[in-house]
Amino acid sequence: MNAFYHLCFVVRDIGQATEDLTRTLGVTWSPVRAGTLGDWDYEIVFSTDGPPFFEVIHGPAGSPWDATEGSRFDHIGYWSKDVVTDKQRLADRGAPIEFDSCPYGRSFTYHRLDSIGARIELVDLAVQPGFRDTWAKDAAPMPPLVLGDP
């Protein structure tokens, strides 16, 4: 089985969500950071322990992290050595691309898997050193997803 590196929750209130996860499960957090993708400003945070990590995102209505209908489990994140090839393989296997960040100058994709009510995220392995520097300084290198031919 391939190792995922994070589980993500899209939330209405990032402070409340992280406080609740800390109180109930003892999760510790890196500082919340602001980000922008296209016209969307968002807030994001990762737990300090992992992998796997918890990721919590708060984004505006209409964004890939829209929580206007309520907070939810959103996706399972995997590293990919080749996002272009892997995103097509997932789509061919019944997990269509729901959002592709490549037109925004980033390299991650979300794929809908309706049977679990969530998405799969592919993130370019090339950005893992930056992820580790920002969110997980003590984390060992994490392996990429391996998708053989169907």
Q: What is the mean pLDDT of residues 24-36?
A: 97
Rounded to whole angstroms, the Cα distance separating 122 from 105 reads 15
pTM of the model: 0.95
- DSSP single-letter state for residue 70: -
CA pseudo-torsion sign 74, 80, 82, 88: negative
Instruction: Give the fold, CATH level 3, of 6-135.
Output: 2,3-Dihydroxybiphenyl 1,2-Dioxygenase; domain 1 (3.10.180)
pLDDT, tens digit (0-9, with 9 covering 90-100), for 93-123: 999 999 999 999 999 999 999 999 999 999 9
Which strands make up the sheet holding 33-37, listed edge to edge? 33-37, 40-46, 53-58, 6-10, 72-80, 118-124, 108-113, 97-100
Does residue 1 have a pLDDT over 60?
A: no
Per-residue pLDDT at 60: 97
Rounded to whole angstroms, the Cα distance separating 65 from 69 reads 11
Per-residue pLDDT at 150: 62
pLDDT, tens digit (0-9, with 9 covering 90-100), for 49-95: 999 999 999 999 999 999 999 999 999 999 999 999 999 999 999 99
Does residue 26 have a pLDDT over 70?
A: yes
pLDDT band (50, 70, 90) for residue 148: confident
Boundaries of every domain in the chain: 6-135
Rounded to whole angstroms, the Cα distance separating 25 from 19 reads 10
